[in-house]
Every structure is written in C-alpha cells, then in structure tokens.
C-alpha cells in the first residue's frame, strides 16, 4: 500500500512539473524581428576605377616595407589591442567553463566529528559524491551556447580592433609622409620668396622700385615662415600620436628616406559579401545570438530543476573501522522549483528579452552604418579624384601666370603685389594638390576597412 501511495505522489509531482514547464515556456515567445535595413544588390555609386585584382589585405594597397614593419611593431605594442586580447582570453575561458555545466560534478570529502550526548563518540566519514542536473529544458545547453557566442563576438571584436588599428596606422603614416612633402614645398616657397626679395632689393637700390615693394615682399616671406613653423609643430605632434599607437614615447621617427606613396584602390565587393567579411557586423550578430540565448535561459530559470545525487561512503568511529567497514551508497533524485521568487525571475526574464531586442537594434544600426561608410567612401573617391585633376590644372596655369607676371614686373608693367599673388598661387595649388592626394589615399584605406579588408 505504501508503495502505491509513493507512486501516486511521484506521479503528481511529475504532472506538476510538466504543467509548470508548459506554463513557463509560454512566456518565452520566440522574438519576431524583421530586418528593416534593405541590403542592395550593388553599390549605387560604384565607379570603374575601383580595383578588382587585389587581395583582402590593407597593406597590399600600399606595398611598403617600411610601413609593414611599422604596422607589425604597432600590433605587438599597442596597449588598446593588448586590452582587447585580454578580454578575448577571458571570454574564451568562460566559454570553456560553460561547457562543463552539463557534466556531472564529482567531489570527495573526509569528515571527522566528536560528539558528547551522554558519552563521547568519535565519527569519521569519507565519501565520493556525484551530482548531476538533468538538462530537461535545455537551460544548460543554452548557457553553453550563449558563452560560445560571446566568445566568438569577442574574437571578432579583436579582429576588427586589429584591422581598425592597422587602418589608423596607415592613415597616420600617410599624414606624416605627405606633411613632410608639404614642408618641403614651403621651404622651396620661402627660397623663392627670398630670391624675389633680392631682386626687389636691387631694384630699390637702383631707384627703380619703392621701399614699400621690398617691405611687401618681406612681409610675404615672414608669413610663410610662420606657416612653416606651425606645420613643423603639427608634424612633431602627429609623430608623437603615431608613436602612442606604437606604445612608445617621443617624436623620433625617420621619414626622410621614404618616397611619397600611392595607394591602390581597394577591391570592390558586393554588399552581401561585405556583410560576411566585416568582423564588427559578425560580432554584433553573435551578440544577438548570445542575448537570445540569455533570454531563453532567464525564462527556463522559472522551470523546475531535476537533479540526481549519488554518494558512495564509508563511516566508522576510528580509522580502522573506516577501513574495515563496508562501503555504503545512496541515490537521491530531487525536483526544485521557484515559488516565492517567481515574480523576480519573471522580471529578470523580461529584462533579458528587452536586452535581446536592444542587441538586434544595435546590429541593424551597425549594418546601416557599414553600408553608409562604403557609400561615403565611394563618393569621396569620385570627387577627390576630380579635385586632384582640377588642382593639377590649377598648378600648371599658376606656373604660366607666374612667368608672365615676372616679365611684366621686370618691365615695370606690374607691381610686386601681383607678382607675389602669382607666386603664392603656384605653391598654394601645389600644397592643395598634395593634401588632396593624401585625402584620396587615406579615403581608400577607409574604403578598404569599410569593405572588410584587414591584415
């Protein structure tokens, strides 16, 4: 009779468990999301100038041994990248740990006690205990999947951080190299102005020109000297910032032997291929997966947990008895379910679901930003190319204008101010041409990064 009664109790418990599980699972609705960002088949502003023959490496766009060495040095010593690598290691350890949650827990213990309840008794106990939670609802499996997705997201974040760092180093290197070229142009400008000063000074001594002409020429020279001093200070600051990326202190970096580089156009991939090659987008997607798993875990925490506990032990009042006594064992099955804290668990589950929705919105935002970055970079490539051609033409005409004004000035048909303006036009158009070339090449690095190129 007792056996039948126990069976009924067990049956009632099982039915209660199943009903509780079904009730709680109804709260865990599958998140219905629609991607509102339409991915086009092709880039609407793609031009024929974009290369299709290069690899997916940013450094291949430059092909410079000096830059490659600089990038390798930066990757090895950059502090932000080191911090990201440590976070990746932490996520990997958590992922490895989560996989053990589904495994039984085996522990050993040795206990010694001394009691007095009328007489003094000694007790010793040695045991081997095995505990295992049955993953009936898949909660432990979800925990493992969540940790795995977070580890993948951390790995992809590290890859994107490294790619972004490489792009920043290349652009900072271009900035320093091209500024050095501009400094050289300004030095030649000053030399040309000094030559003009000498010519005007001779004409003043001969009585052919006024002192005002010489003062005007000298004022122009000192304005350019001031601009040169400012640019040299900017160059030192840029080198210091580049050295910070390298994890170093100081303003020392030799660019004197480096020729002005030209950056190839990156290979243009289709929008769909870009989505599969950008680590930051893949990381955001893994974050969505992890958040969905966390939501599932939170709802399954409302369900009863089934555990099995097994123990093999020996007991005795002395060490000899402990050795001689036979081994005993026990097997216990248990069901635990939340009762008084169910409301708190439901709130946590709803919060987890909201976090999952936020993660999906962030993914959409990253997707939109990624396609916008490519579109802006393609636009800039087109218009910077036009600007470069116009500045080249302006420089050619400025040289022709300068020659004409030199002849007019020597003939007395023009004043020194017109001559200085023509001279200024030559060097300003040259500097603008160099700056446009730098902007265009730097933009190509941004385009390559936006398309998923790395190292």
pLDDT digits (tens, 9 = 90+) for 72-97: 888 888 888 888 888 888 878 877 76
The lowest-confidence range among 20-34, 183-197, 256-270, 342-356 is 20-34
pLDDT digits (tens, 9 = 90+) for 309-338: 888 877 777 777 667 778 777 788 888 888
pLDDT digits (tens, 9 = 90+) for 273-291: 777 888 999 999 999 999 9
Q: Are 445 and 57 in contact (CB under 8 A)?
A: no
Which tokens in the block code for residue 157? Answer: 């974040």
Longest Cα–Cα distance of the chain, Å, equals: 136
**Alpha carbon distances (Å) from 455 to 60, 72, 144, 275, 338:** 9, 10, 31, 17, 51
What is the number of alpha carbons within 13 Å of residue 164 lying toward its C-beta?
A: 12
Count the neighbouring beta carbons within 10 Å of the beta carbon of residue 159: 19
What is the number of alpha carbons within 13 Å of residue 178 lying toward its C-beta?
A: 22
**Alpha carbon distances (Å) from 308 to 9, 331, 335, 353:** 18, 7, 9, 31
Question: Of 438 and 409, which is predicted with more confidence?
Answer: 438
Scanning the structure block, which residue is given the tokens 């600089």?
70
**How high does pLDDT run on average in the chain?**
82
Question: Of 151 and 317, which is predicted with more confidence?
Answer: 151
CA 378 – CA 389 distance, rounded (Å): 17
Q: Are 410 and 318 in contact (CB under 8 A)?
A: no
Q: What are phi and psi of 328, to 5 degrees?
A: -115, 160
Q: Are 159 and 279 in contact (CB under 8 A)?
A: yes
- If you average pLDDT over residues 152-160, what whole number do you get? 91
Q: Are 211 and 204 in contact (CB under 8 A)?
A: yes
**Alpha carbon distances (Å) from 408 to 25, 193, 218, 322, 401:** 92, 17, 20, 118, 11
Taking 50 as the threshold, does the pLDDT of residue 11 lie above it?
no
Scanning the structure block, which residue is given the tokens 């190129």?
453
Residue 427: Cβ-neighbour burial (10 angstroms; 0-12, 13-18, 19+): buried
pLDDT digits (tens, 9 = 90+) for 367-378: 999 989 988 998
């Amino acid at each position: 009779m007792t056996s039948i009664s126990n069976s009924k109790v067990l049956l009632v418990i099982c039915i209660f468990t199943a009903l509780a599980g079904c009730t709680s699972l109804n709260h865990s609705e599958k998140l219905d999301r629609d991607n509102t960002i339409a991915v086009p088949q092709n880039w609407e502003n793609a031009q024929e100038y974009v290369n299709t023959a290069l690899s997916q490496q940013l450094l291949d766009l430059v092909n410079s041994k000096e830059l490659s060495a600089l990038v390798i040095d930066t990757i090895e010593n950059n502090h932000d990248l080191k911090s990201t690598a440590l976070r990746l290691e932490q996520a990997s350890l958590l992922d490895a740990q989560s996989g053990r949650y589904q495994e039984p827990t085996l522990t050993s213990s040795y206990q010694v006690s001394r009691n007095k309840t009328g007489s003094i008794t000694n007790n010793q106990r040695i045991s081997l205990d095995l505990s295992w939670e049955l993953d009936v609802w898949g909660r432990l499996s979800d925990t493992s999947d969540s940790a795995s997705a977070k580890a993948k997201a951390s790995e992809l974040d590290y890859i994107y951080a490294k790619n972004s760092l490489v792009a920043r180093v290349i652009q900072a290197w271009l900035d320093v190299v091209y500024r050095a070229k501009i400094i050289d142009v300004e030095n030649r400008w000053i030399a040309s102005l000094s030559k003009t000063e000498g010519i005007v000074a001779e004409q003043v001594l001969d009585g052919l020109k006024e002192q005002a002409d010489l003062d005007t020429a000298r004022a122009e020279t000192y304005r350019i000297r001031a601009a040169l001093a400012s640019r040299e200070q900017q160059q030192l600051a840029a080198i210091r910032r580049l050295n910070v990326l390298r994890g170093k202190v100081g303003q020392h970096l030799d660019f004197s032997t480096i020729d002005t580089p030209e950056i190839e156009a990156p290979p243009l991939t289709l929008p769909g291929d870009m989505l599969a090659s950008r680590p930051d987008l893949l990381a955001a997607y893994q974050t969505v997966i992890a958040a969905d798993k966390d939501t599932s875990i939170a709802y399954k925490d409302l369900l009863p947990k089934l555990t099995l506990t097994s123990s093999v032990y020996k007991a005795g009042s002395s060490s000899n008895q402990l050795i001689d006594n036979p081994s005993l064992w026990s097997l216990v099955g248990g069901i635990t379910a939340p009762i008084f804290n169910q409301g708190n668990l439901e709130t946590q589950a709803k919060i987890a679901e909201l976090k999952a929705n936020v993660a999906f919105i962030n993914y959409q935002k990253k997707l939109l930003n990624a396609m916008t970055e490519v579109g802006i970079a393609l636009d800039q490539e087109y218009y910077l190319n036009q600007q470069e051609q116009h500045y080249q033409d302006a420089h050619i005409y400025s040289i022709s204008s300068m020659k004409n004004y030199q002849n007019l000035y020597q003939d007395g048909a023009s004043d020194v101010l017109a001559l200085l303006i023509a001279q200024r036009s030559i060097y300003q158009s040259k500097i603008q041409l160099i700056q446009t070339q730098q902007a265009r090449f730097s933009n190509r690095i941004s385009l390559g990064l936006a398309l998923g190129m790395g190292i």
